[in-house]
Amino acid sequence: MPLTNKFHAPDVFLKAIRGHPYSMGDAHFSVTGLIGPPQVGRLRKQHRNQIVSDVRDEVWKLLGSGVHAVLEGHGDGLTEQRFFAECDGIKISGAVDHIKNGQVSDYKVTSVWSTLRGVNPNWEAQLNMYAWLMRQNDMEAKSLQIVVICRDWMKSRADQDNYPSSPIVPISIPMWSNEEQQDFITERIRVHTAENTIECTAEERWARGAYKVVSVDDPHTTAGKRYDTIKDAAAYINKRKTGHFKVVDADDVKYVRCESWCEVADFCPQWQGEKT
């Protein structure tokens, strides 16, 4: 991928980023690719040589790679083990950070904020797909956890409200049944291999205020604030003791990923179509 350096980082950063090419072997999809939006995956493949990134936008991945590289050298059990398996003729690959006595761990270098919102659905899907991959390779996953390394943790805020006591935060991830894991993977393969590209959802676009709750009797009456996910909007309705409400799409939604973070935004018919 062509790399720019608009903000004049020292050359060593360019070399380090270029020196960390990602590989998923000869698989059709990686676990994270299957969890991600089909449209992003397809545009990424189609425009592989045209997508340009800047050092500024790659540095957090570099930090994550560094943490993984250091921890890989010290974990007992299996570390950075890549698994392959086929489902419906599609080869899937996933690299598991650490396995010890059946406990599967994945490291995430990210913000404190991401630990405060409960279990991230994508993390839950990723770990359960690893459990599925392990089962196809005659290994059993007994428990799943994400270990967050908080890059912005502040000691002065430790233990206040829900703020973590340490920058290292292990989070237990629910294990799905074998059938749930299989159904999820089958469905993700279906959406990624569908003939027509499926547009990104509001959640996949990191929409801010995508949904609102309105009265069933008077749809012009909005109740509560705007919500980023249908789940959050539905939770608001469930808490109400009286009235009949439904969730509807809001106008003037801010799509954070499309605006600032999607590497294929310039080639995306959905986003470019909305901008014109």
Q: Please state the closest distance from residue 191 (CB atom) to ligand SF4, in A.
A: 13
Q: Is the dihedral of CA 215, 219, 225, 230 positive or negative?
A: positive
251: tokens are 């106008």
**Which of 123, 271 has the CB closer to ligand SF4?**
271
Contacts of 142 (CB under 8 A, 6+ apart): 101, 102, 103
**Around Cβ 199, how many Cβ atoms within 10 Å?**
15
Tokens 């270098």 locate to 109
User: Does 262 contact ligand SF4 by CB under 6 A?
Assistant: yes
User: Does 125 contact ligand SF4 by CB under 6 A?
Assistant: no
**Which of 38, 94 has the CB closer to ligand SF4?**
38
Q: Which stretch binds ligand SF4 (CB under 6 A): 79-87, 151-159, 189-197, 254-262?
A: 254-262
User: Distance (Å, rounded) from C-alpha 257 to C-alpha 204?
Assistant: 8
Q: Of 37, 108, 125, 171, which one interacts with ligand SF4 (CB under 6 A)?
A: 37
Q: Please state the closest distance from residue 123 (CB atom) to ligand SF4, in A.
A: 19
One-letter identity of residue 130: Y
Do you know the residue count of the chain?
A: 276
**Which of 112, 262 has the CB closer to ligand SF4?**
262
Q: Of 68, 108, 188, 205, which one interacts with ligand SF4 (CB under 6 A)?
A: 205
**Which of 15, 254 has the CB closer to ligand SF4?**
254
Q: Which stretch binds ligand SF4 (CB under 6 A): 3-11, 184-192, 214-222, 259-267?
A: 259-267
Q: Of 30, 39, 79, 81, which one interacts with ligand SF4 (CB under 6 A)?
A: 39
Radius of gyration of the chain (CA): 21
User: Does 32 contact ligand SF4 by CB under 6 A?
Assistant: no
User: Does 36 contact ligand SF4 by CB under 6 A?
Assistant: no
User: Does 40 contact ligand SF4 by CB under 6 A?
Assistant: yes
**Around Cβ 167, how many Cβ atoms within 10 Å?**
17
By the 8 A CB rule, do 144 and 102 touch? no
Q: Shortest CA distance to 107 belongs to which of 77, 57, 150?
A: 150
**Which of 90, 264 has the CB closer to ligand SF4?**
264
By the 8 A CB rule, do 265 and 217 touch? no
User: Which residues make up the interface to ligand SF4 (CB under 6 A)?
Assistant: 37, 39-40, 43, 200, 205, 255, 257-258, 262, 264-265, 268, 270-271
